[in-house]
Chain A
Amino acid sequence: MGEQTLWALDGIDTIIEPGEFVAVMGPSGSGKSTYMNMIGCLDVVTEGQVYIDGSEVSSFQPDELATIRNEKIGFVFQQFNLLARTTAEENVKLPLLYSQIPESEWSERTLKCLEQVDLGPRADHQPSQLSGGQQQRVAIARALVNDPVMILADEPTGALDTHTTEEIMALFQELNEKGTTIILVTHEPEVAAYAKRQLIFRDGHLVSDELTANRVSLDIDNSSLVSNEQ
């Protein structure tokens, strides 16, 4: 009632450079999801600007936002959001369907991304035939397939056990080492500890922006990743 306006985010001014690994933290209702939706072009700001890879996207129309999401951003979700009864390969290929990338490159890109997450041999498996960790890795491959400027991961380990969480986070670190920008939303400090930089939100405000003090670094090599899953 009344004219009181509630700002989900207020006075946020952040810059994330290429190659960063940022964890976005905060309790429920702190605004961290809204922040991610803004930079993920899933939602638009009411005031202010958002720049992605040099484009000012806050004034974009739905179609333009879709193109930005397709070309610049790779999403990883808590619930994986894979298409059921569809093979891993087809799932990974999905963003290419909406892209300008020529069809002749699709298979090569898809398989390369599946190999990057160590699921090359499982290309023809459907989600129901894969474990939770493997499903999330398919989702990560899908996020990588369009060669985005950043990966946005929203509670990517929320549905996984501790051991699998470690594997996924190691994979993110590995990808980051190779140059992929990663922005990770989580409310678990243990998960945030894998990132290089931590943003903490509270009540719509950014209350802390610091480098991770005791960064966890898991140097699990590829072979152990595969063997752990099997």
Chain B
Amino acid sequence: MNIFKLFKIALTALTLNVMRSILTMLGIIIGVSAVIIMVSIGAGAQQEVDAQLEAMGGNVLIIFGGWNNRGGGGTAAVATLEDGHANLMLEQVYGVEAATPYVLGKSQLIYGNLNWSADIMGTTNDFFVTKNWDLESGRGFTAAEMNSGEKVVIIGSIIKDELFGASDPIGQSVRVGTFNAMIIGVLKAKGPDTRGDDQDDVAVMPLKTVRTKITGISKSSPNSVSYLEVKGSDTVSMAYVEEEITSLLRQTMKVADDKEDPFRIRDLAETVESRAETQAIFNTLLAAVASVSLVVGGIGIMNIMMVSVTERTREIGLRMAIGAKPDDILNQFLVEAITLCGVGGLIGIGIAFGVTYSMETYFDMVTVINPEIVFISLGFSALIGVFFGYYPALKASRLQPIDALRYE
């Protein structure tokens, strides 16, 4: 008896009891779809994290200053982070590829009768490296512009769209708060960053320009910056770079040994990765719960197959009397169980595709269904069919023809 014939017999038997077959498959349907959906959400989240890491360009540390050190009771001076620290790090810490200081401000940008409020970032050309940003058009700052604090600006794509629409903004003059600045470049669009802040809604100017014309120079710490960014090379461990920077900064800021750091260093990639890890654990847990329902579904199938064997004892007897071998009976019931699981698995896959599609369409979630998990869950449900169908099928095949025929 070939396998094709067996599936035909099994399908016929199952369609004789459609409602029961569907209810039996329910556990498998729910289990398979739940597993695929959970894994897809997890894979989608992982893909987003990878994209964010890619956008960050790898090993980047952010150093925030301005942590008042009040330990020890005395009125300690506020050790501020200064733009000079960036050069020190570049020169003295092995593995630092670029170090960029930032001064942040906010201002109105006015062009013609259009008006847009944007974050203003004062920095050096190194931001292209540490932020991994690119120019869409135009150029970066020249050394002369940096040194004299020229009124030049590189704008993000959102500002360009809001103020200039489709026309070319390069060389145009835009009003920034109280002064006019010339647009020398436009940044490539990047989309939201890891925390959801829009990175395209920003105007970049030379550090000195922002400090003198927008934020103003602080009397106590004229060289202070909002934060520094450091990009490490791929060949060094960021933990090592972090350690070296910490000791360099403590030394430069003359922090006493018993005091805490007056700054904070954050490893961006590490933050993203640890969040991704939490997410992954959560997803694995959900997928594990879902696979429990697959096993429960399998037990449901076994239960129904046992009932079916008892109910159809006379049928089994008849089939044996007209020439079915014990193996034919075993295969028939085994294939029935596998068919139940397989069809249930297929329906579950269909549901999973539907659900993930609507999650993407209506809830803007990123999901990735990889083919492996589809095949694995289908194979697994068929395996459940074999595992839980085997005992009832064996029971059926061990019946004696005469006993089965006489069964009431």
Contacts and interface: CB of A to CB of B under 8 A. Distances in A.
Interface of A: 37, 40, 42-43, 62-63, 66-67, 69-71, 75, 77, 79, 81, 83-86, 94-95, 97-99, 142, 146
A97 B321 contact: no
| Residue among A62, A63, A79, A142 with max Cβ neighbours from chain B (10 Å) | A62
Contact of B16 (A67, A85, A97): A85
Nearest to B329: A66
B1 interface: yes
B315 interface: yes
Contact of A67 (B323, B326, B400, B401): B323
A69 B405 contact: no
Interface in B293-326: 314-315, 317-326
Interface of B: 1, 5, 9, 12, 16, 314-315, 317-328, 400-402, 405
A62 B16 contact: no
Contacts of B5: 97
A70 B322 contact: yes
A77 B406 CA distance: 10
A75 B317 CA distance: 12
B48 to A, nearest CB: 53
Contacts of A94: 318-319, 322
A98 B405 contact: no
B330 to A, nearest CB: 12
Contacts of B322: 69-70, 75, 94-95, 98, 142, 146
Given A66-B324, A67-B323, A81 B1 contact: no
A10 B325 CA distance: 29
12 contacts: A42-B401, A42-B405, A63-B326, A66-B320, A69-B322, A70-B323, A77-B318, A81-B317, A81-B321, A81-B405, A83-B315, A142-B322
Contacts of A37: 402
Contacts of A83: 315, 318
Closest 7 CB pairs between A and B? A70-B323, A98-B323, A95-B322, A66-B325, A81-B318, A42-B401, A63-B325
Given A66-B328, A86-B12, 20 more contacts: A37-B402, A40-B321, A42-B321, A62-B325, A66-B323, A66-B324, A67-B323, A69-B320, A69-B322, A69-B323, A71-B323, A75-B321, A81-B314, A81-B317, A81-B405, A83-B318, A86-B16, A94-B318, A95-B323, A98-B1
A62 B321 contact: no
Nearest to A142: B322
B405 A146 contact: no
B318 A62 contact: no
A142 to B, nearest CB: 7
Contacts of B326: 62-63, 66
A1 to B, nearest CB: 25
B326 to A, nearest CB: 6
A142 B319 CA distance: 12
A43 B402 contact: yes
Contacts of B325: 62-63, 66-67, 98
B368 to A, nearest CB: 45
Contacts of A97: 1, 5, 9
A146 B402 contact: no
Given A37-B402, A97-B5, A146 B321 contact: no
A86 B13 CA distance: 10
Most chain A beta carbons < 10 A, residue from B12, B323, B324: B323
Contacts of A43: 400, 402
B407 to A, nearest CB: 11
A95 B321 CA distance: 9
